[in-house]
Amino acid sequence: MELLDGKLVSAKIKEDIKQEAAAFMASTGRKPHLVAILVGHDGASETYVASKMRNCELVGFESTNIHYEADVTEAELIAKIESLNADDRVDGLIVQLPLPAHINPERITEAIDYRKDVDGFHPVNLGRMQRNLPCFIPATPYGVMLMLDHYRIDTAGLHAVVVGRSNIVGSPMSILLARNSVPGNCTVTLTHSRTKNITEEVRRADIVVAAIGKKHFITPDMVKPGAIVIDVGINRETSTQTKSGYKLYGDVDFDGVAPKASWITPVPGGVGLMTIIGLLKNTLEAAKGTIYPR
């Protein structure tokens, strides 16, 4: 078993991004700029946004965190997004999900200028990704592909089974793995909570991508020997054993599955760190105008 080490890979790519950001600063006189909007006081969301801001600083980006209380109206939020869309000093714009129940996340996503949509959630970016055109790829799937590329894992012709069909991870992951690209060129099965005989489906996989949001959903009996196992799950549970007061678990039973796998990502220390990398790379490309000319 070999570890797909998100800590190692993210550190390497961050150094590359830092050098590119310095070159951008030298040629333009400004830093790539990411703005993150946070609504309410969800603990996990606050942690994620703080991590994104901290990583921006580490690679030499400018970052701005705009925080609204949970009672902000949808109209107020959209008005702010529209003003940031029009601000040439802003390269990337993200709105942290989930949002309070009175705000429609689809309306918020579509309000963001697709040329600043560094989360890769806008329908324009998702449509261009499906057609294998230049676009901002959703940060988590992008991070997974960067990890596979770093380890030079040849995915061509392999059977990938994606568990979970969310618009943020599962569906785009299935498209990326199937595309005529490197990594890519897989035969892909997309499974979800309504899939019959899901254990049998997963057991056929050369590559398992677990993104269903259920702690230890993938058990050893579901994984064939030699499979590549990518755990996207981040399930938080309260814990007295950690300083933070919670502990993270993946969608994969790591201890049980690892001995059967050829490659596997840990949680924490795997895909979560690569998600940040996907976001940083998208923000850098937005600033440089390499995907959508400024």
Tens digit of pLDDT per residue, the chain (294 long)?
999 999 999 999 999 999 999 999 999 999 999 999 999 998 888 989 999 999 999 999 999 999 999 999 999 999 999 999 999 999 999 999 999 999 999 999 999 999 999 999 999 999 999 999 999 999 999 999 999 999 999 999 999 999 999 999 999 999 999 999 999 999 999 999 999 999 999 999 999 999 999 999 999 999 999 999 999 998 888 887 787 778 889 999 999 999 999 999 999 999 999 999 999 999 999 999 999 998
**31, 80, 91, 96: the active-site residue:** 96
CA gap 204, 189 in Å, rounded: 10
| Same fold: 25-115 with 139-274 | yes
Of the residues 52, 80, 116, 281, which is catalytic? 52
> For the whole prediction, is pTM greater than 0.85?
yes
- Concerning whether 80 is annotated as a catalytic residue, the answer is no
119 is catalytic: yes
Distance between CA atoms of 264 and 81, rounded to whole angstroms? 39
Identified catalytic residue from 119, 231, 251, 253: 119
Helix (H, G, I), strand (E, B) or coil at 219: coil
Question: What residue ranges do the domains of the chain occupy?
Answer: 25-115, 139-274
CATH superfamily, domain at 139-274 = NAD(P)-binding Rossmann-like Domain (3.40.50.720)
Token reading at 181: 């690209």
CA–CA gap between residue 248 and residue 173 (Å, rounded): 22
**Residue 241 is among the residues annotated as catalytic for this protein:** no
Task: Answer whether the bond into residue 98 is a cis peptide, omega within 30°.
Answer: yes
Question: Is 25-115 a CATH 3.20.20.100 domain?
Answer: no
